[in-house]
Structure 1
Amino acid sequence: MRGTNAARLRFPADGPDDDGAEEAQLVLAAMSGEADAVRTLWERHRRWIAAVILAHKPSAEDLDDLLQEVAVTFVAKLDSLRDPRNLRAWLRTIAVNAARASGRRGRYRVTTSLADDGVATDGRNGAIGHLARDETTRRMLRRVDALPETYREPLLLRALQGLRSKQIAMLLDIPPATVDTRIARGRRMLAELCADLLPAREGRMGPLS
């Protein structure tokens, strides 16, 4: 994320979950040591954080482990957040750094792709379990790993968390039109990768379409 714009990152106040003033107060409460506020913030954001991690982590890395790592960093360093309104930009930076650092550390897990992560198979964290209820979808999710990172992250943020283009644009610091273009291209690329799976779905890609 470009440093010149990161400080201005906000999500639009389109509903209760996007109420910047309410969330800023919650962040301040968490920074003052209120455990309930910390838990509420993590529950509110962990699903889209999981999508960001999935877009950047090596396929062999375990999602649960990286989510735990981000959670620990969130709690330990929350008091370093200068502007409570920038929580989401700050969390995305932590998630991306954790995912990329895991590759540099060379730690390998039993899991081999994002569709094989514990979250996908048993839905413990609600991140992608709701998308992987049948084998065809699971096979499609495995192939998302093959997409370039540029297209993978916005596509997963839309598919896993249902974020709007404007919200994704703010997270990635790019124009909404660019988000739409990347998602469309990512879907086309994924359709080509999943050509052998699509006949059973009449040309559609289920939750990723």
Structure 2
Amino acid sequence: MIRVVVVDDEPMVCTHLTTILGSAEDLDVVDQAHDGAAAVEAVIRHRPDVVLMDLRMPGVDGLTAIERINELRKPPVVVVLTTFDADHYVTRALRAGAAGFLVKSTPPEDLIGLVRVAADGHTVLSPIATARLLAGAGTRVDERARQQALLAGLTEREAQVLACLGAGMSNAQIGNQLYLAEATVKGYVSRLMLKLGCANRTQAGLLAQQLGL
């Protein structure tokens, strides 16, 4: 079972999402939270696999909650699910440690599939969020130069693993692609995130896409 915590300041939204996800045999919504502080407590209490996180909430907002959750030991995958798809929301959420960004208009059947994909270690981004990120990347020449310098510091194998992350591959898929043991791939991914200053594999994958890997 994939254990899920749903976070939204509107109880009716939480109930709606719980109904949608609960219709899948392999998804179990173990708790609901209505602000960021309660979200962190729910994660500590239930140790879910995936958290669906709204951004704008009273008290502790979603961005702060994402940061706090990612400071925990073995944090769950956090996927933002919100009505706000502006560039700065997408960027800030991913920098805070979110592994994906979806809008609430995502069809129910797609949402179920995307939660499964996120739990399996893949990046999940709405088409709107992806377009905004890639469009904005081309306007920052200084940032691209910094990224190119980071890329130059990678070994050939590390660059290959980074390219696979950019394609949204899981560790098992990368291992099959590059003929490496999954534990070896995990080591490469950890070193890549350290070298590149990325909080998670989603950020590393976006960097790979921005660099055209």
TM-score, normalising length from structure 1? Answer: 0.30
More strand by share: 2
More helix by share: 1
Give the structure, 1 or 2, with the largest relative contact order (CA under 8 Å, sep 6 or more). Answer: 1
